[in-house]
Amino acid sequence: MDALPSWPPGTAAVLCVTGPHAIPVSTAIRAGDRRVLLALGGRRETLRRLSEEDPAAALCVMAEGLAFTAEGRARVVKEGVEAAPALAVVEIAVDEVVDHLADGRTSMDAAAAWHWLDAKAAASDPEILAELEALAREPRAEPPAQPATRPLRPGAP
């Protein structure tokens, strides 16, 4: 795996930042071989930590046939989206992709099943994802190529 793989829109993932501080996210999209975009609530503790403490981030994505962590640096690239002005768009410039299935011992049979309970959030979700996709198509310089993907660290769970 030399680059980020593709995953279905709405796939549940876990964003980890300094702390440790981990939160589930459902808006992460592949925006290039080494770039992820996602939307977060503008008042999230995660945004404060990324902006004020340390931009290091790790995004663990698990979907059918995929389990990987994208490690890199995160930054806010846009405040607010049309469908939800209180959200911020975060970009992760990926330095390394760790393939958790590389050793062939396990497989992911399905992604986590989830749904919105809030009708307003459910209605705006497709619009938010569409705006992220549009941002991903805008011309941007890709981060410099980094070393190839490494398999899961020996002894790691």
On whether residue 119 sits in a domain, the answer given is: yes
CATH number of the domain residue 145 falls in? 2.30.110.10
Q: How far apart are CA 153 and CA 61, in angstroms?
A: 17
Pair 29, 129: CB distance under 8 Å: yes
Angle made by CA atoms 98, 31, 104, in degrees to the nearest 5 = 25
On whether residue 156 sits in a domain, the answer given is: no
3-state DSSP helix/strand/coil % of the chain, to nearest 5: 15, 40, 45
Q: How far apart are CA 107 and CA 90, in angstroms?
A: 29
How many domains is the chain built from? 1
Q: What is the per-residue pLDDT across 20-60, written as a single tens digit (0 to 9) for each? A: 889 999 999 999 999 999 999 888 889 889 888 899 999 99
Confidence tier at 148 by pLDDT (50, 70, 90) = very low
Reduced to 3 states, what is the DSSP secondary structure of residue 9?
Answer: coil
Average pLDDT, the chain: 88
107 pLDDT more than 50: yes
User: pTM for this structure?
Assistant: 0.84
On whether residue 1 sits in a domain, the answer given is: no
On whether residue 3 sits in a domain, the answer given is: no
Confidence tier at 151 by pLDDT (50, 70, 90) = low
On whether residue 127 sits in a domain, the answer given is: yes
Range of the domain at 33: 13-151
On whether residue 71 sits in a domain, the answer given is: yes
